[in-house]
A and B are shown apart, each in its own frame.
Chain A
Amino acid sequence: MAKKSRKGAAKAVNGSAPKAVLTDRDKKTLKDLVGLADRIVDDAQKKRDPYLDIPTRALSNVRYNKAKRRIEMGSNKNRRQLFNLSQAKSYMQTVLVASGCKQLIEEGKTTSIRGLYYLLKHTIDGTREETFDDQAECDPVIEDVEVGLNSLREELHVYASNRGNLVGPLTLIDSGDEIDCSRMGSAGYSIPSIVERQVIDFKKCTAKFILHVEKDTVWRRFSEDKFWVKHNCILTHGGGQPPRGVRRMLNRLHNELNLPVYCLLDNDPWGYYIYSVLKQGSINLAYESERMAIPDAKFIGLRSRDFERCGLSPSVKINLNDQDIKRAKQIASYPWFEHKKPWQKEIEQMLANGFKLEVEALISKNISYVTEEYTPQRLADGEWLD
């Protein structure tokens, strides 16, 4: 029925498309996918209504592991039922994503989450309704399948688009190509979505530490000022909230090459949360914390007291709005911030200030103030939040 409306790729699966050589991991993932489908068939035969149990991805279902200093996922699950009016569609979408992943694995191909969205998007037979209205509807479903099958995105042959760059005295092998990250021109090395060992191997590194900044503008400043040469470090950014590729890269560099990680982020709730995600893992993808979290990461700035200490112009202040205040209080009450006095003070002071600061604010003082004075001084003083 629905097959007719699907084009090309779908036919290839059932047709005579050459089957790719499957790795052991692929076989395991396939087995999981088939298991999921078998359960549905089984339920239908027994006239039970089929369901999928998907681990809850919310603050209520994460636990802060004090010993390991990272977020772990709890055991709460959301039951997604086919015969529930509000869940019927997302159930259908989940099964659809599973079948799309199965097809990718069998053909030995990978695609971006956007590609998968287009692969699965079609009109439902006999209606004018689309399986997915937009990509935003598809992305969380892909995450659901990842969590539900307890497999990683790359195991499902899906990746996100690249975001985040790296520059520094590091040589690595990316899909067989040797890359010297100190000779990548002005834009640096673009960190891929999947940086697992089978894709990337570190060959040589002379850097002493990693400096992670929030966004491209600041990263460019550091790169242009050759901060990484002067201080012998690796310089990365994640374009705001760092994608999993960047986080996994930092995690590997930290653990495998023993490089400490310092973060230079905005002085606002979102900056705090980026730090929190890098350090403890994210609430949404708590099951990946083990691979992603860097519990030793340090927060060097911007600090709430920097406005006065650095003598910044009042015009760089951005007033806190209601949402910011709410979010700041929420972050302050997270278990992993709750008992850290310096952090509580930091957040309190920001709320008392009534404004937030972006790292870019330092540029207003002097274009290279951030690279030549601010950061070196903090690093030299060892003044950071943990």
Chain B
Amino acid sequence: MAKARTKTAPAKSSGKKVDRLKSGRLKSADSEADEAEDEATREPEESADEEPTTAVAATNGHARKRRATAQSMAASQRDISVSEFFAKNRHLLGFDNPRKALLTTIKEAVDNSLDACEEAGILPEIWVHVQQTGPNRYKVGVQDNGPGIVKKQIPLIFGKLLYGSKFHRLRMSRGQQGIGISAAGMYGVLTTGKPVKIISKVSPRKPAHYYEIKIDTKRNLPEILNGKGEGEDIDPGEKGRQYIAKHGIEWVELDHGTRVTIELEGRFIRGRGSVDEYLEQTAIANPHVKLHYLDPEAGEGQLDVRLYDRSTDKLPPEPKEIKPHPYGIELGMLATMLQDAKAMTLSQFLTSSFSRVSSAVASRICDKAGLSTRANTGKIGRDEADKLFHAIMETKISAPATDCISPIGEDLLLKGLHHVVPGEFYIASTRPPSVYRGNPFQIEVALAYGGMSSANKVPLDVLSELLEESDARTLRQFLSSTFYGLGSDAADQIIKEAEIGPRTSPGKLKTAEVAKLHEAMRSVNLESGQTMNVLRYANRVPLQFQHAACAITQMVMNTNWRAYGLNQSRNQLPTGPVTIMVHMASVWVPFTSESKEAIASYPEIQKELRLGLQSVGRKLGMYLRRRLKVKQEGERRNIFLRYLGEVATAVSDINNADRKKLYDQLLLVAKKKTSQADAKLDERGRIIDEEAEDLGDNVLIVDPTENFGIRNLEAKNGQKES
């Protein structure tokens, strides 16, 4: 990493002076190796910081003197700005390495765009443009057709960490803290020195605003670079169009919307954990989004290299904002709320600050706490707050309203999954809302069975590209890390089939060998060695990393899939051509870290996950049993058919009977027999009509032989019963 960054140094020095000084400082905070290089650009106050240390070094030679005094230490004790903290701890935000940085940047921008569109009630259309500008350097542009941003907010939203609308409210949205996009911009400036460019338009008649911004990490404030620190307005008419063309500003002509362009150091990969994968998974969970994706390999002037079209025109219902539920509160928070509350009675405070607290409930709480309902909030001290807190926890309060969550819905889950994941059987299940720590949440599970693994359908040219880009050391490693659901067993099988040494480096394959590998990947049956593909979502955002730490993966592993007809080793992901998608929608998703990659395991969440997984599992089991039955019936008939010809020939040899006629008659009997043999009997000896066993709603069965033949089993069953 350090080496890569030094390459970017010349680019920086060409910038303005301020710019140069800033980036120099930021970098010094970042890595020791760069520190020496940038020494010259340091500001004097920083070297002053080092004085105590040098003093210590000097005095150290003498015996037993105090190294530093309280006074000398105090000199170096000062404020840390949020921006500085995150610049140093960028991994907390998902910028651990160039590969992830590129993905996180796109992810934050797209998430913000979607949130904005949905909040404004606009069907989202998103353009994602990734362009390579140098070795390990990419320009990322994300544009939406959202409501736009008013002029004075633009610099703050994109140039200040922890600034946003989503933190202080309890409302289901993708973003939560207001860190994401500004952190991405900061990372871009840190690594390339190029400012973040934002263009936003509110209405077709009004001018669009154009900003070039950098974060002042020390003060956590935006620094506007263009238009003499004021930004520029672009005329809505022809003049503006010319201006855009002249200044090379990227903008897809729209009535309203926002585009953010960030140039950053990154690495573009394909396969697992890639931008491609993120966008594909986003399309699954957001069937109302139209997504244009232009990747770095796209040629000039192409607009839609990859288009994920929407499969529905209906926006998800608008999630409501709720007040916190008393059960979700902590003592410290309660005390702060009491302090902040204007002078009012305790009863008023409780009913107005929390959801589900009526005046009756409030008086019950106060009774338990031994406080008067009419006590003034300003006079509640530390002890009283403690009593109040325990009283709240002991009082029975009904669960929070759950209509504030907007799940994807079974119907759209099926559509989304079917749109993107090939398969033959789809099932979706949306659990009723539930509550953890006073936060309402809802779990949705959808499953696709069958279809080919991505390894089966990868085209030859893409494969050779993947091979070139891969940094895997061996072919085996390459296969299992690039393709979802491809275990090492399957990888071995493919390599064996292709007759290539397993330790061959993926980059060193000859053209003929690549062709062989491609052939093998198509021909090898991967069903057996394939592991379940788990797609995790939190508020419609795909989670791509840290799967082992996530409650979803853990629950999938803990579920007994063998009962549903899949193979599974103990506490492992089941094997088979299965894709499972799990979505957690909540006003507050409990992530294990700020990079929002794994959901924490609360018992309530675990329980809902388990129930959701079991409900799709049951349906899958039913489908698999039914499929197996049909297969067995076919096999049985096959066995008979195999011998019928021989029997007919032998018999006609003996008694000169008409062979053809005898064969046909035997065939008829065979059909009759197989259907009888397959009928299952219930306890009373009656034949059970298995077809009548209902798979229920929200099941999609696709005939694997035809691509678009979707039939709704429900409708078919309905006919039978009538």
Q: Which residues of A line the B interface, CB within 8 A?
A: 1-3, 10, 13-14, 33-34, 36-38, 40-41, 43-45, 47-50, 82-83, 85, 88-89, 91-92, 95-96, 98-99, 102-103, 124-127, 129, 131
Contacts and interface: CB of A to CB of B under 8 A. Distances in A.
Secondary structure at the B interface, as helix, strand, loop or mixed, is helix
Contacts of B673: 49, 83
> What 8 pairs across the A-B complex have the smallest Cβ distances?
A37-B654, A44-B665, A37-B655, A99-B650, A92-B643, A83-B673, A95-B650, A99-B653
B672 A47 contact: yes
Interface string B649-687: 111011101010010011011101110000000000000
15 contacts: A2-B649, A34-B654, A34-B655, A36-B654, A44-B662, A47-B665, A47-B669, A50-B669, A82-B666, A89-B643, A92-B646, A102-B654, A124-B643, A124-B645, A125-B646
Contacts of A102: 653-654
A88 B640 contact: yes
B368 interface: no
Interface in B84-107: none
B629 to A, nearest CB: 15
A228 to B, nearest CB: 47
B150 interface: no
Contacts of B650: 37, 92, 95-96, 98-99
B333 interface: no
A37 B666 CA distance: 13
A40 B651 contact: yes
Contact of B669 (A10, A41, A83, A92): A83
Given A2-B645, A47-B665, A95 B636 contact: no
A196 B646 CA distance: 34
B642 interface: yes
Given A40-B647, A47-B672, A83-B673, A103 B653 contact: yes
Nearest to A98: B654
B642 A41 contact: no
A95 B645 CA distance: 12
A143 B376 CA distance: 105
A83 B640 contact: yes
B639 interface: yes
Nearest to A1: B645
Given A44-B665, A83-B669, A88-B640, A38 B647 contact: no
Contacts of A83: 640, 669-670, 673-674
Interface string B147-186: 0000000000000000000000000000000000000000
A96 B665 contact: no
Nearest to A125: B645
Given A95-B651, A96-B650, 9 more contacts: A37-B654, A38-B655, A40-B662, A41-B651, A47-B668, A47-B672, A82-B640, A124-B646, A126-B645
Contact of A82 (B636, B643, B655, B668): B643
Interface of B: 636, 639-640, 642-647, 649-651, 653-655, 657, 659, 662, 665-666, 668-670, 672-674
B655 A124 contact: no
B665 A127 contact: no
Contacts of B643: 82, 88-89, 91-92, 124
A232 B554 CA distance: 90
A92 B653 contact: no
Contacts of A41: 651, 655, 657, 662
A45 B665 contact: yes
Contacts of A37: 650-651, 654-655, 657
Contacts of A98: 650, 654
A91 B636 CA distance: 15
B651 A99 contact: yes
A131 B646 contact: yes
Contacts of A127: 642
B664 to A, nearest CB: 9
A85 B645 contact: no
Contacts of A40: 647, 651, 662
Given A33-B654, A37-B655, A85-B639, A2 B646 contact: yes
Contacts of B647: 40, 82, 91-92, 95
B640 to A, nearest CB: 6
A1 B642 CA distance: 12
A96 B639 contact: no
Contacts of B669: 43-44, 47-50, 83
A38 B646 CA distance: 16
A40 to B, nearest CB: 5
A37 B654 CA distance: 6
A100 to B, nearest CB: 8
- Most chain B CB atoms below 10 A, which of A14, A41, A47, A131: A41
A131 B639 CA distance: 13
Nearest to B643: A92
A37 to B, nearest CB: 4
Nearest to A122: B646
A288 to B, nearest CB: 24
Contacts of A47: 665, 668-669, 672
A44 B645 CA distance: 13
Nearest to B646: A92
A33 B639 CA distance: 26
Contacts of B642: 124, 126-127, 129
Contacts of B639: 85, 88
Contacts of B655: 34, 37-38, 41
A33 B654 CA distance: 7
Nearest to A43: B669
Contacts of B657: 37-38, 41
Contacts of A129: 642
B452 to A, nearest CB: 27
Contacts of A49: 669, 673
Contacts of A3: 649
B672 A85 contact: no
Nearest to A81: B673
The CB with the most chain A CB atoms within 10 A, among B642, B654, B657, is that of B654
Given A38-B655, A47-B665, A1 B649 contact: yes
Contacts of A103: 653
A59 to B, nearest CB: 30
A197 B670 CA distance: 46
Contacts of B645: 1-2, 124-126
A129 B642 CA distance: 9
A351 to B, nearest CB: 46
Contacts of A96: 646, 650
A7 B565 CA distance: 48
A33 B662 CA distance: 17
A248 to B, nearest CB: 28
Nearest to B672: A47
A122 to B, nearest CB: 9
B679 to A, nearest CB: 15
Among A49, A91, A125, chain B packs the most CB atoms within 10 A around the CB of: A49
B492 to A, nearest CB: 27
Contact of A13 (B644, B653, B662): B653
A146 B469 CA distance: 73
B386 to A, nearest CB: 75
B230 to A, nearest CB: 83
A99 B665 contact: no
B192 to A, nearest CB: 65
Contacts of B649: 1-3, 99
Contacts of A2: 645-646, 649
Given A47-B668, A49-B673, A95-B651, A85 B646 contact: no
Nearest to B649: A2
A103 B639 CA distance: 27
A99 B654 contact: yes
A3 B660 CA distance: 13
A10 B654 CA distance: 12
Nearest to B666: A44
Contacts of A82: 640, 643-644, 647, 666
Nearest to B648: A1
